[in-house]
Structure 1
Amino acid sequence: MKFFDIARSRRSAISVAIVPLAVAMLSAGSVGAADAAPDAAGAGGPAKIELQGAVNVRDLGGYRTYDGAKVKSGKVIRSDALGKLTDADVQKLGSLHLQTVIDLRTPAEVQALGADRLPSGVPLVARAIDDTGMFTKMYQAIGSKDPVQQEALLGGGKAEQIMGDVYRSFFTPDSLTKFGQSVRDLANTGNATLFHCTAGKDRTGWLSYVTLRAIGVPEGTARQDYLLSNQYRAAADAALRAQLKQGGIMQNPDLLIPLQEVREDYLNIAVSQVDSQFGDFGKFLTQGLGLDAGTILKLRKNLVS
């Protein structure tokens, strides 16, 4: 059912049907997936994995480390949520020889958006990392259909504050433990390990950034990978905003842009937290994520050729 069809239905139907669909569209590749940005990494960067039901999917192989080595392909895949995959998408994932899929979403996100669709026999690890209520706040704002309430919830820099809180929350003891365990999993992966959150850009983006830096990829390159989500998600995110406006759900859907994007300012919040809380990135790996030197060495040996 399209948004303009739903918008003509009763208000009670709107409250039941529009809100889950709108929030799902914020994260899934169901809007404009076929028109998503092409692989923007270029030579020496990661390979985009084209799927119809997810738009922010890529193999982290191909990046160069400080010493000229190369990150292996077929080891680490990052993505957005996999609940909207088509049968063809599932078949394509099956060709990647996935060893494990790590789902970083909260139970509320999984309930609203649906469990992952995975190839038969691929183990799923549910490792929820708190989003500080971002998903619920976005759900509430869209579902209200009230421009005044939407402005109050997201306008005047409030959306940016929500995102800042998300990045600061990466340093709670629970989040540090779960990010650390995910890095350990990558140190031990034989075939590919895929990890994802909802949009594949914040929790997933931070885990990717940390992993790349831990194996010797320059900070600037890891940062570029983080920002690449904006290109991969651009078409789907813009299409969502257009449909929300057309359907009368949001008078000003641009209020969602700070929640849809990754920004250097967001990443800098986490990087500054590393420096202020641990002193440097190396101590963050050992004291923050609980990785010993042997695990870090094993991670690099496993992921770098």
Structure 2
Amino acid sequence: MARHLPRAAVTSLVCASLFAAPMAGVALADPAPAAPTGFSWSPGQVADAPRLSSMDNFRDVAGTGAGYTGFGGEHLNKGVFYRANAFTPNDADLATLGGLGLKKVYDLRTDPEVAAKPDRLPAGAEYVRVPIISGDITNAARKLRSPAEAVAFMENMNRSFVTGEAERAGFKKLLTDLANSAGPQAFHCTSGKDRTGWTSYLLLSLVGVSRDTIMSDYLLTNEYSAGSIAAMRAQIAQAYGEQAAIIFTPLLGVQASYLNAGITALEQQYGSVRNYLKTGLGLNDATLAKLALRMLD
């Protein structure tokens, strides 16, 4: 039975996949405030984010091709904010990342995750730790006994991004730094889907990206990381049996209900994304304006 998986095995599962990383309930932001006087931003490169073999969920928050559109049909600036899974590129991908001119890389992982897979950054990029999750998530995950419990576990995690004091403090620091730091930046967790997915949801909502686009972007993890998800599931089945793989499969990718759970909690407690950003996270109008200005043409 999966409940007999040793703690070390569940730790590996959680760190390697659960934190790698709805539609009608997506809360749209209020109109973006005017940019503060004296602040300006020149968009970075407009090429699509490269597909990396060793970091399969690396992508541009602004999308691919023409990119996503926000308020007034404005295209989001590409080459500004990148999202990723664990920042552990092979030599070839490290060289590719070096061409993006990254100035900062924000690591949202817990101490055990960082210890298991330390970041490897291109020259010129500053490493910044912003741990998001609090509590012993490994102990909770190892008790899962069914796929339904695994789904509920993921939904509860997304709710914690709204209700958890430590989680909100982490997102406040991350978004503040993103707003006030110049040049291209990247943020990541382990699978690039949960903490990273919530951050992307907030950024896209802030500038008025449509609810359908936001969800489609969230679900792209299942496409980008399909190979690594399948490999992890196969490893679990081989090591602990097919029943364990069935139970833990919901932890490996994303489902709309995960993001929707967080969004519903946000709407119930704060009413809108902007109110969550201002009241829940304590971000001021100037910080939100800087973020919006960096992201929109």
TM-score by length of structure 1 reads 0.77
Unaligned runs of 5+ in 2: 1-5, 21-45
Distance 1:27 1:89 in 2: 23
Q: Does 1:170 align with 2:161?
A: yes
Question: What RMSD over aligned residues (CA atoms) do the two structures have, in Å?
Answer: 2.7
* Contact kept? 1:79, 1:196, Cα under 8 Å: yes
How many residues are treated as equivalent by the alignment?
Answer: 262
- CA shift, 1:16, in A, is 11
| Cα pair 2:158 2:259 within 8 Å, conserved | yes
Once the two structures are superposed, the pairs formed by residues 122-137 of structure 1 within 5 Å of their partners are 122-130=125-133, 132-135=135-138, 137=140
Instruction: State the Cα deviation string for residues 33-83 of structure 1 (Å, max 9, x = none).
Output: xxxxxxxxxxxx994532222110101222111311111111000000113
In structure 1, distance between residues paired with 2:149 and 2:7: 26
CA–CA distance in 1 between the matches of 2:114 and 2:8? 17
Name the residue aligned to 2:100: 96
- 2:78 is aligned with 1:73: yes
**CA-to-partner distance for each residue in 1:100-120, whole Å, 9 max, x for gaps?**
000000001112x22101113
Instruction: For 1:20-31, list aligned pairs within 5 A.
Output: 26=17
Residue aligned with 1:117, SS:
coil
Q: 2:191 aligns with which of 186, 194, 199?
A: 199
Pair 1:267-2:259 in alignment: yes
Map 1:1-305 onto structure 2 (within 5 A): 26=17, 47-61=48-62, 62-83=67-88, 85-111=89-115, 113-130=116-133, 132-135=135-138, 137-138=140-141, 141=142, 153-155=144-146, 157-171=148-162, 172-245=164-237, 247-252=238-243, 253-305=245-297
Q: Which amino acid aligns with 2:208?
A: G
SS at match of 2:71: coil
CA separation in 2, counterparts of 1:23 and 1:175? 18
Q: What's 1:3 paired with? A: none
Deviates more, 1:285-294 or 1:73-82: 285-294
Q: Is the 8 A contact 1:47 1:60 kept in 2?
A: no
The answer for the alignment partner of 1:34 in structure 2 is none
My pick for the range that moved more, 125-134 or 63-72, is: 125-134
2:59–2:82: 8 Å Cα contact kept in structure 1?
Answer: yes
Q: Distance in 2 between matches of 1:21 and 1:233?
A: 17
- Asked which structure has the greater RCO (Cα within 8 Å, sep 6+), the reply is 2
Structure 1 position 17, deviation (Å): 9.5
Residues 223 and 167 of structure 1, relative CA distance in 2, 3 Å threshold: same
**Structure 1 residue 287, shift from structure 2 partner:** 0.4
